Structures are given as C-alpha cells and as structure tokens.
C-alpha cells in the first residue's frame, strides 16, 4: 500500500486555501460603508447611528447609496458633494468625478412617490458647513421634506462618473484624506425640540467620517496569509 507524504498533503492544502482566498479577493467588487457625524448644535438629537452611504465600484464610476435606516423620525432632504476644487474650477473630465446622475431610489421597488431627488439643493450651501470650508461642487435635494429619505430604510443612489485617469481607489483615498467630503441636511426630526427651547431647530447637518474601514476581503486575505505563515513556521521547526 502506498503511503502519502503528510507534508506534501499539508502544502497542497495550504496552496488550495490561498488560491481560493486570492480568487475570492479578485472577484469581490470594491465596496465600503461610510458613516456620518453631526456638525450642528441646534438640537439635542444625534442621528449619526442611522445615516450611512454605501460606496460601490461600478464600471467607469462609483455608486453612492444613501440610506436613512430605522431610528428616530427624520427626513434626509439635501445631499452635498465637496470635491475640494478650486474656486474657479468645475467638475469635468480632469476632476475626480466628471458628472453625477440620480439613478435609483427605494420607490423603484414599490409604486409610490415617497422619495424624489433632483439636482441643485436648497439651501445651496450645507448649513454649518462654512467653518469646515465645505464647498458644494454637486448637490441635490428633495423638493419637499416628505419626499426625502425617511427613517425606516428609504434610500437613493447616485452614480458618480470617474474622470480620466481616476479609479475607485482614487475616490476611496480622497474620502480617507478629506479631499472628498459628503454633507447631509436632515429635516423633520421628531422630538428634537421637545424641551421647549425656542432656539431649537428640528433640522441638522452631518458630514462623513473620513476614516475608511478595511474591506472584509482584505481582512480575510490577511488572516489566511497569517495562518499559512504560522503553519509553515511550525512545520519548519518540526
């Protein structure tokens, strides 16, 4: 009876795992979820835990899916993109994004008119964005608060077409270093002013948190690589 070499079998097993991980990483589209932080102090409600945007790589561009998840009553009515352009510069083929389109919303899956966004936000500047030098290079809004993203999981997706020579990684790096910023204006916040403060407002503004999490695929690859190296080290010592 032929005896199998256990060391060769172990090497083959490790090689198969590494091949599978590399194949998984190569076929996983780039995607990450960005979170937000409140920048206004005009009420005591913080909605950052229910606001997010899913940033996904697509051919020739990046999709931004804005979501108002289950939480306190509110309506996300205005969305702003600050590309960090100079005062006289406009978006075009030589900038990170050459254009934006509103391509889908949660009404796509239901025959309703609860969500409707169009270019050019009102107000034209993100409220409380001036101390942050926040400049809107593209913005959009819901004409009426009830057409914004209400809590409960309503969403809207923008397609940002990449400029010449730019990639998804370029956009991710811009988020990370703060040269690409996203602002949100929230209205109709339930119980924001329940304390009777006459100076209180039921609206507030948010900007994205610049720290970008490492994609899960990268963690998986790193974990598998660490395990492979550890096993190889134990094998060499034996």
pLDDT in tens, 45-60: 999 999 999 999 999 9
Mean pLDDT by 10 residues, the chain (238 residues): 53 50 48 96 94 97 97 96 91 97 84 83 95 96 92 95 97 96 96 76 94 52 50 52
Looking at residue 26, its pLDDT comes to 38
The upper half-sphere exposure of residue 194, i.e. CA atoms within 13 Å in the direction of its Cβ, equals 6
DSSP SS3 for 15:
helix
CATH architecture for segment(s) 32-213: Sandwich (2.60)
**What are the structural domain ranges in the chain?**
8-28+215-238, 32-213
% of the chain surpassing 90 pLDDT: 63
Distance separating alpha carbons of residues 172 and 169, to the nearest angstrom: 5
Residue ranges in 140-190 assigned as alpha helix (H):
168-177
The answer to whether 143 and 192 are in contact (CB under 8 A) is no
Maximal C-alpha separation, the chain:
89
For tokens 């998986």, name the residue.
Answer: 220
Q: How high is the pLDDT of residue 192?
A: 86
> pTM to 2 decimals?
0.78
Q: What is the pLDDT of residues 83-127, one digit of tens each?
A: 999 878 999 999 999 999 999 999 865 555 689 999 999 999 999
How many CB atoms within 10 Å of residue 89?
12
DSSP-derived pairing of the beta strands 138-141 and 61-68 = unpaired
Rounded Cα–Cα distance for residues 127 and 37 (Å): 14
| Crossing angle of helices 216-237 and 6-27, rounded to 10° | 170
**How far apart are the C-alpha atoms of 44 and 201, rounded to whole Å?**
9
Nearest CA among 76, 113, 81, 106 for reference residue 95 = 81
């Amino acid at each position: 009876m032929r005896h199998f070499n256990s060391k060769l079998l172990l090497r083959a097993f490790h090689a198969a795992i590494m091949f599978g991980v590399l194949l998984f990483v190569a076929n996983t589209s780039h995607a990450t979820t960005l979170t937000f932080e409140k920048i206004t102090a005009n009420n005591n409600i913080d909605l950052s835990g229910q606001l997010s945007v899913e940033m996904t790589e697509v051919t020739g561009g990046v999709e931004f899916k804005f979501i108002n998840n289950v939480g306190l009553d509110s309506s996300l009515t205005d969305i702003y993109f600050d590309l960090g352009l100079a005062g006289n510069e406009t978006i075009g083929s030589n900038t990170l994004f050459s254009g934006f389109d509103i391509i889908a919303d949660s009404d796509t899956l239901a025959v309703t008119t609860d969500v409707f966004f169009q270019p050019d936000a009102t107000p034209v500047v993100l409220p409380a964005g001036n101390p942050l030098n926040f400049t809107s290079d593209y913005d959009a809004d819901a004409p009426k608060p009830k057409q914004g993203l209400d809590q409960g999981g309503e969403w809207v997706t923008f397609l940002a077409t990449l400029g010449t020579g730019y990639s998804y990684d370029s956009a991710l790096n811009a988020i990370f270093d703060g040269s690409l910023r996203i602002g949100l204006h929230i209205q109709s916040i339930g119980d924001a002013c329940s304390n009777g403060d006459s100076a209180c407002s039921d609206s507030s503004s948010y900007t994205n948190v610049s720290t970008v999490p490492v994609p899960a695929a990268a963690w998986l690859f790193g974990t598998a690589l660490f395990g492979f190296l550890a096993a190889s080290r134990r094998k060499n010592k034996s």
